[in-house]
Amino acid sequence: DADVTQTPRNRITKTGKRIMLECSQTKGHDRMYWYRQDPGLGLRLIYYSFDVKDINKGEISDGYSVSRQAQAKFSLSLESAIPNQTALYFCATSEQGPYTGELFFGEGSRLTVL
């Protein structure tokens, strides 16, 4: 089984609908991240969490919210989806403390907003 699991892997929805993308990890890492990938733009950070009580906005948090339900679970919500939120979303984890920053990624959730 994958260390970082994202559900759903693919989702098609309509404008205005609420969508939740879920991420769970078995790596035991404290830090979790949500990135968005768009062609030509690389990965952009949406939100990140350094522990259950610590949640921070990234570069592009507008229109998104997150919930860290437990050390192993970090969910991303789109309260009212719009077409320009169509993208590939990645959850990632990393270790706490002075470290060299390797990120461990899930396989991605492809979201299409019509």
Partner 1 sequence: AQSVTQLGSHVSVSEGALVLLRCNYSSSVPPYLFWYVQYPNQGLQLLLKYTSAATLVKGINGFEAEFKKSETSFHLTKPSAHMSDAAEYFCAARKTSYDKVIFGPGTSLSVIP
Contact between 63 and partner 1 by CB under 8 A: the answer reads no
Choose, by CB under 8 A, the member of 20, 45, 55, 60 that binds partner 1: 45
Number of neighbours of residue 97 by Cβ within 10 angstroms:
6
How many residues bind partner 1, per CB under 8 A?
A: 22
Does residue 86 touch partner 1 according to CB under 8 A? Answer: no
Residue among 17, 27, 41, 80 that touches partner 1 (CB under 8 A):
41
In the structure encoding, which two tokens stand for residue 49, read together?
């969490």
Q: How far is the CB of 101 from partner 1 (least distance, A)?
A: 5
With binding defined as CB under 8 A, does residue 98 bind partner 1? yes
How far is 94 from 113, CA to CA, in rounded Å?
A: 29
SS3 for 62-112 is CCCEEEEEECCEEEEEECCCCHHHCEEEEEEEECCCCCCCCCEECCCEEEE
Binding site for partner 1 (CB under 8 A): 4, 35, 40-45, 48, 58, 90, 92, 98-103, 105-108
